[in-house]
Amino acid sequence: MARRAGTVSWPGVAVAAALCLLTLGTLGAVLARAGGASLTLADWSAVRFTVLQAAVSALLSVGLAVPVARALARRRFAGRGLLIALMGAPFLLPVIVAVLGLLAVFGRQGMLNDALQALGLPVVSVYGFHGVVLAHVFFNLPLAVRMILSGWQDIPAERFRLAAALGLGPGAVFRHLEWPMLRAVLPGAMVAVFLICLTSFAVALTLGGGPRATTVELAIYQALRFEFNLGRAALLAALQFALCAVAVLAAGWLVLPGAFGGGMDRPVQRWNADGPLARLMDAGVIAAAAVFLLLPPGMVVARGLPGLSDLPAGLWAAAARSVLVAVLSTALCLVAALALGVAIVRGRWSRTLEAAGMLPLAASSLVLGTGLLLILHPVITPQRLALPVTALVNAALALPFALRLLLPALRDIETAHGRLADALGLTGLARLRWLVVPRLRPVLGFAAGVVAALSMGDLGVIALFADQGAATLPLLVQRLMGAYRMEAAAAAALVLVALSFGIFWCLDRWGRHAAS
Amino acid sequence: MLRLEGVALHQGEFRLTADWALQPGDRVAVIGPSGAGKSTLLLAIAGFLALARGRLTWLGQDLAPLSPGDRPVSILFQDHNLFPHLTLAQNLGLGLSPRLRLTPAEAARIDAALDRVGLPGMGARKPGTLSGGQQSRAALARTLLRARPILLLDEPFAALGPALKADMLGLVTEIAAETGALVLMVTHDPADARRFADRTIVVSEGIAAQPQPTDALFLNPPQALREYLGP
């Protein structure tokens, strides 16, 4: 007999059921509708492009992250902590803002082409396959660096000391210490990046397009938005779900490394990496990574600041809509994650419930959106529900991330204080109010900040549903870019970044100000 | 009375049986080697471990269907007896009302309980600002408020020095006398058992033995207790 089997926590079960209904129900709606349609050659090329760009993005992001992580692991310099903290920022940076920044550097009138022209060299285009991969590397390089860096710092310092005592050269250190760690960490990091790039929509929408650079997500959008071909969109959505499901199942075999752990401020003490060449290489790698990651957002700031005095019409209304969507989806996501997390930690069926919580990983913004559109279309004009649907989809898609952040903390609380709470008969809402929420507050604040910032910057399902009147801020930026009003777009992007990071900062700060 | 009839506890490979009864107001020590199952026995009475066999009753009422919070039991664990994020007054208040909706009369009772255990006026303090002995006192004050007829002590004073521990045992003795509670206390220390308990249960080799008068038990210890105490 184990300890008392625990009671069933019904709110958590209800959340799990709702998640199944949302992901599998929309999939059902999609499959029912997809029956008659058939795939064209263009659709297959979208599948090929999606998988190829995700694979290349994953390889490049992780491959380039290795030298950066190694340099950061073994060097101390002023601003090192800040740089590592900044590595967490692209995850929260709205995609459309990053694209705008990349265009300012690599675009037709960007810095790079200006320089090439001045030298009399031919200009390069950022659109197409390499543009999509470039943007994905921009987003995922820092994520991969953080994962690999935490792997580096998990190698006990004593082993490096032993290697130095034995007089091992750099080659031997790599073979005996670093390669085993990399072999354990790299596959997980690669799958994580691959998964993220598989559902890429906003990057493909802005930098891809055309028959040679269309992701499945983008193809779904085009089928719905321009052709209003529900059958074809449904078929593509089914295909996208299958792609993601296969990748998620593959990821389930691997342990995904963490990227949000603490303790990354500590450099690894090394005794044999201080040759002048190694120093120079590390300095170059760090400088290159910093420039690559800081220059695009810096350009958005530089180009956006002058436009702040003359903000485009409708900006504040769009900003208000974005904040509303972010607040709604954050509240929804965290209440659901909390209910589900408590049920997983305390009650029965915890494995099933946890699997239900991970289900949205196999869904994507456009698949959920298509399913909801198919379900809503006969009943109501979908455009009228653009904001609630966006909030719902954002909440569902962010739930696995929130759950992964909350679960370890919930388990700690249960281990340390669960028995006392049981002994005092502290159950239900009272337990939540007097035990769980106060103890969880730092993690809850951070998770809420992440979810809110992701939702603020989301450019996915909203593009599908919103008509001219109901744009959110990222959609407004995208439309301004489409109209080649780059200065106005940069100014709006600046407001968007300020709001995203502001909302993250507020929520994280609320969490950190927890009573001791 | 607290009656264990043919009780068997299973935890993985671990097995423990018990078959005896205790009276209200008894002060009983539970002694035996580490890992013998002393804590397991208390956890089962408190409702954290279901019985594999047998019946557990208090005054004739079967306790099996009751959750830990509904049993006529207060328990103090080795640690984590107070929530670190709540004030002492809130921690004590949870003993009166799990929703912490306290009437002025209840607030007054909390103050009185803090006075009683020697922590006057400290209701607004957080546990982290108190010494180990003061934290033990606060946890005891909560059992005073809960006034359950059975008090289970799973070595809550193990981390305290000898003098403080003696103080706390004295306080428990007084409180038990005031409330008439049955007290079961796990201990490693024969001196604690002699000082505090009229009767003692030896837990060893899968059996929680019949309670024996403490003095007689230590004058003529059975084989299991002799091995535990050493030469």
Cα-based angle A315, A316, A322 (whole degrees, multiple of 5): 90
What does the alpha-carbon distance between residue A445 and residue A24 come to, in Å, rounded to a whole number?
30
Residue of A nearest to B8 (CA): A1
Q: With a cut of 70, say whether residue A163 has pLDDT above it.
A: yes
φ and ψ at A46, to 5 degrees? Answer: -65, -40
Summarize pLDDT for A451-502 with one digit per residue, the tens: 999 999 999 888 888 877 788 999 999 999 989 888 899 999 999 999 999 9
Task: Determine the residue among B9, B10, B13, B85 to mutate to test chain A binding: the one whose Cβ has the most chain A Cβ atoms within 10 Å.
Answer: B85
Separation in Å, CA A497 to CA A95, A300, A322, A502: 10, 10, 12, 8
Q: At what angle do helices A111-118 and A95-106 cross, to 10 degrees?
A: 10
B124: contact with A, CB 8 A cutoff: no
**Tell me, what's the pLDDT at A266?**
57
Put simply, the answer to whether A426 touches B69 (Cβ < 8 Å) is yes
What does the alpha-carbon distance between residue A501 and residue A300 come to, in Å, rounded to a whole number?
15
Contact residues, chain B, for A439 at CB < 8 Å: 85
What does the alpha-carbon distance between residue A369 and residue A394 come to, in Å, rounded to a whole number?
10
What is the CA B122 to chain-centroid distance, rounded? 24
How close, in Å, is residue B92 to chain A by CA atoms? 10
How close, in Å, is residue A419 to chain B by CA atoms? 8
Q: With a cut of 70, say whether residue A267 has pLDDT above it.
A: no
Contact residues, chain B, for A434 at CB < 8 Å: 83, 86, 90, 94, 98, 100
Contact B219, B199 (CB under 8 A): no
Put simply, the answer to whether B80 touches A515 (Cβ < 8 Å) is no
Task: List the single residue in B11, B67, B77 with the smallest CB-CB distance to A420.
Answer: B77
pLDDT band at B141 (very low <50, low <70, confident <90, very high): very high
B65: contact with A, CB 8 A cutoff: no
A178: closest CA among A149, A210, A203? A149
Put simply, the answer to whether A419 touches B84 (Cβ < 8 Å) is no
**Tell me, what's the pLDDT at A340?**
95
* C-alpha torsion sign, points B97, B99, B105, B108: positive
Summarize pLDDT for A36-85 with one digit per residue, the tens: 677 788 888 999 999 999 999 999 999 999 999 999 988 888 888 888 88
ipTM of the modeled complex? 0.87
Q: What is the pTM of this model?
A: 0.84
Task: List the single residue in A4, A5, A417 with the smallest CB-CB distance to B83.
Answer: A417
Put simply, the answer to whether A516 touches B126 (Cβ < 8 Å) is yes
Task: List the single residue in B10, B77, B85 with the smallest CB-CB distance to A1.
Answer: B10
How close, in Å, is residue A88 to chain B by CA atoms? 30
Contact A341, A407 (CB under 8 A): yes
Separation in Å, CA A350 to CA A346, B103, B203: 8, 38, 35
Strand partners, B208: B18, B203
For the ranges A57-61, A153-157, A180-184, A266-270, which has the lowest average pLDDT?
Answer: A266-270
What does the alpha-carbon distance between residue A273 and residue A285 come to, in Å, rounded to a whole number?
15
Size of interface A-B (CB pairs under 8 A): 73
pLDDT band at A516 (very low <50, low <70, confident <90, very high): very low
How close, in Å, is residue B23 to chain A by CA atoms? 22
The three-class DSSP label of residue A43 is helix
Put simply, the answer to whether B46 touches A423 (Cβ < 8 Å) is yes
Task: List the single residue in B50, B80, B128 with the smallest CB-CB distance to A420.
Answer: B80
3-state DSSP percent of chain A in helix, strand and coil, to 5: 75, 0, 20
* Type and span of the H or E element at B201: strand B199-204
Residue of B nearest to A515 (CA): B85
A420: contact with B, CB 8 A cutoff: yes
Task: Determine the residue among B43, B94, B126, B154 to mutate to test chain A binding: the one whose Cβ has the most chain A Cβ atoms within 10 Å.
Answer: B94
Summarize pLDDT for A191-248 with one digit per residue, the tens: 889 988 998 899 999 998 777 889 999 999 998 888 888 888 888 998 999 999 888 8
Put simply, the answer to whether A425 touches B128 (Cβ < 8 Å) is no
Summarize pLDDT for A387-409 with one digit per residue, the tens: 999 999 999 999 998 998 999 99
Task: Find the length of chain A.
Answer: 516
How close, in Å, is residue A333 to chain B by CA atoms? 25
For the ranges A107-121, A491-505, B14-28, B203-217, which has the lowest average pLDDT?
Answer: A107-121
A346: contact with B, CB 8 A cutoff: no
* CB neighbourhood size of A316 (10 A): 11
Q: At what angle do helices A276-307 and A41-74 cross, to 10 degrees?
A: 120
B23: contact with A, CB 8 A cutoff: no
In this prediction, residues A169-181 reach a mean pLDDT of: 84
Task: List the single residue in A427, A435, A516 with the smallest CB-CB distance to B128.
Answer: A516
Contact residues, chain A, for B86 at CB < 8 Å: 434, 438
**Percent of chain A having pLDDT more than 70?**
93
Q: With a cut of 60, say whether residue A259 has pLDDT above it.
A: no
Residue of B nearest to A416 (CA): B80
Strand partners, B186: B30, B154
Put simply, the answer to whether A416 touches B80 (Cβ < 8 Å) is yes
Structure tokens at A130: 């390499």
* CB neighbourhood size of A327 (10 A): 15
Task: List the single residue in A4, A425, A515 with the smallest CB-CB distance to B98.
Answer: A425
**Tell me, what's the pLDDT at A262?**
46
Summarize pLDDT for A107-143 with one digit per residue, the tens: 888 888 888 888 888 888 888 999 999 999 999 999 9
Task: List the single residue in A1, A424, A438 with the smallest CB-CB distance to B69.
Answer: A424
Report chain A's mean pLDDT, rounded to a whole number: 87
Put simply, the answer to whether B48 touches A419 (Cβ < 8 Å) is yes
Q: Give me the DSSP letters along A260-299.
A: S-S-TTSPPP-SS--SHHHHHHHHHHHHHHHHHHHHHHHH
What does the alpha-carbon distance between residue B72 and residue A143 come to, in Å, rounded to a whole number?
53
How close, in Å, is residue A430 to chain B by CA atoms? 5
Please list, in sequence order, all residues whose beta carbon lies within 8 angstroms of the beta carbon of residue A186, skipping any fewer than 6 positions away.
Answer: A62, A66, A148
Q: Which residue has the tokens 């535990």?
A: B228
pLDDT band at A420 (very low <50, low <70, confident <90, very high): very high
How close, in Å, is residue B49 to chain A by CA atoms? 5
What does the alpha-carbon distance between residue B4 and residue B30 come to, in Å, rounded to a whole number?
15
- CB contact burial B171-209 (16+ within 10 A = b; e otherwise): bbeebbeebebbbbbbbeebebbebbbebbbbbbeebbb
Task: Determine the residue among B40, B45, B48, B154 to mutate to test chain A binding: the one whose Cβ has the most chain A Cβ atoms within 10 Å.
Answer: B48
A419: contact with B, CB 8 A cutoff: yes
- CB contact burial B134-149 (16+ within 10 A = b; e otherwise): bbbbbbbbbbbbbbbb
* C-alpha torsion sign, points B115, B116, B117, B123: negative
Write down the H helix ranges in B117-161: 132-146
Contact residues, chain A, for B95 at CB < 8 Å: 424
How close, in Å, is residue B106 to chain A by CA atoms? 16
What does the alpha-carbon distance between residue B8 and residue A227 come to, in Å, rounded to a whole number?
71
Task: List the single residue in A420, A427, A438 with the smallest CB-CB distance to B85.
Answer: A438
Summarize pLDDT for A310-338 with one digit per residue, the tens: 888 889 999 999 999 999 999 999 999 99
Put simply, the answer to whether B98 touches A423 (Cβ < 8 Å) is no
**Percent of chain B having pLDDT more than 70?**
100
Give A273-280's long-range contacts (Cβ < 8 A, gap of 24+): A273/A74, A273/A170, A278/A170, A279/A75
Put simply, the answer to whether B69 touches A427 (Cβ < 8 Å) is yes
The three-class DSSP label of residue B213 is strand
Task: List the single residue in B9, B50, B98 with the smallest CB-CB distance to A424.
Answer: B98
B84: contact with A, CB 8 A cutoff: yes
Task: Determine the residue among A424, A427, A432 to mutate to test chain B binding: the one whose Cβ has the most chain B Cβ atoms within 10 Å.
Answer: A424
